[in-house]
Amino acid sequence: MSESTEGNGEGTRAVRAGLPEPVRNEPTLPGPAFAAHFHLPGEVGGPYTYGRDENPTWSLLERAIGELEAPGQVGLQTLVFASGMAAISSVLFSQLRSGDTVVLPNDGYQVLPLVRAQLEAYGIEVRTAPTGGDAQLEVLDGAKLLWIETPSNPGLDVCDIRRLVEAAHARGALVAVDNTLATPLGQRPLELGADFSVASGTKQLTGHGDVLLGYVTGRDGEAMTAVRRWRKIVGAIPGPMEAWLAHRSIATLQLRVDRQNATALVLAEALKGRPDVTGLRYPGLPDDPSHKVASQQMRRYGCVVSFTLPSRERAERFLDALRLVDDATSFGGVRSTAERRGRWGGDAVPDDFVRFSVGAEDPEDLVADVLRALDESAR
């Protein structure tokens, strides 16, 4: 095991994740390898041949993510992709064939309905179930793959990963978990038995709102070989610069996650006292419907808080009145963002639903800004 995996603390692991063995006079984290091809005299072989297949900057990032997703476990692979959707599509389209059945969430990421239509166009049967309440159990018979997203984006429902994995495996189905919202510091699906942990690194993993990235971590074997082949076929690969930026950002993952998630709880507590806020959800709130299951399988509860305001107009005025929070999509960045999620269409949310992503600002400043914007938008 390399030196970089020593130390049990998660902060220690994050700052050292994926670093190569030290080489005198070389940088700690080598810069991006900008290469479409590599020197390759004679026979084809060795790790680096052509830039769509492998790149040394990806290799270090893949090792880093693997060390966080499943510390100390051997026999795992991580593959990085150009985006979260590239990673998700690579699992679905490499594992499923015409005539197979897959179970997807009906309250998950907003692009899943488009993916569903594409799967159906290829003759794959798609069943759906909501995330909360483990309703997936009722539609599992005969499925080849169970796809879960927990906590779900944007509704923040949670399902019991271990329980669903046991049921799926008993029926011969593989299980993939979208781990975007939790990050590997919040939840480690492979330790709970899942076959794939898949995520968008665009969100809290990289955390600065400047990189699109995705990854898949899974056990060595046929299934991951097929995912790797799919990446080669579709070429959904990250650029070396993005991979390097992502790796650099992971060094601060624990700092960011701890700060952002702690503030998310503080904000949720502050919103609880407001009569104009309804449907408040944060899995870290002890009385949240997701909390019981979340506390069994998560170590941190994420940086997203969601709630509804009395009307769409009120929600728009609120977003407009915020000074420290950008009205923008996505989540997980160091700068807080919020949006009226219904403006996109495609999510199962009401018109006055706000998804709020808590950044790394001082908690007092952020909470004061939100409470002021709520007061101002009420007038």
Q: Using CB under 6 A as the criterion, which residues of the chain lie in contact with ligand PLP when the complex forms?
A: 83-85, 88, 109, 149, 153, 178, 180-181, 200, 202-203, 212, 214
Nearest-approach distance from CB 108 to ligand PLP, in angstroms: 7
d(CA 12, CA 17): 8
Strands 304-308 and 278-281, sheet pairing: antiparallel
User: Which residue, 83 or 183, is less far from ligand PLP as judged by CB?
Assistant: 83
Nearest-approach distance from CB 83 to ligand PLP, in angstroms: 3
User: Which residue, 182 or 373, is less far from ligand PLP as judged by CB?
Assistant: 182
Pair 19, 29: CB distance under 8 Å: yes
User: Which residue, 12 or 329, is less far from ligand PLP as judged by CB?
Assistant: 329
Nearest-approach distance from CB 157 to ligand PLP, in angstroms: 12
User: Which residue, 359 or 363, is less far from ligand PLP as judged by CB?
Assistant: 359
Nearest-approach distance from CB 27 to ligand PLP, in angstroms: 28
User: Which residue, 109 or 318, is less far from ligand PLP as judged by CB?
Assistant: 109
Q: Which residue is nearest to ligand PLP (CB)?
A: 84
Strands 214-219 and 196-200, sheet pairing: antiparallel
Q: How many angstroms separate the Cα of 112 from the Cα of each of 115, 286, 348?
A: 5, 30, 12
Buried b / exposed e over 300-309, threshold 16 CB at 10 Å, is bbbbbbbbbb
Nearest-approach distance from CB 238 to ligand PLP, in angstroms: 10
Strand blocks (E) in the chain: 76-81, 101-105, 125-129, 145-149, 174-178, 196-200, 214-219, 278-281, 304-308, 326-327, 337-340, 353-357
- Tokens 């990235």 belong to 213
**CA 306 remoteness from chain centre:** 17
Nearest-approach distance from CB 182 to ligand PLP, in angstroms: 10
User: Which residue, 5 or 83, is less far from ligand PLP as judged by CB?
Assistant: 83
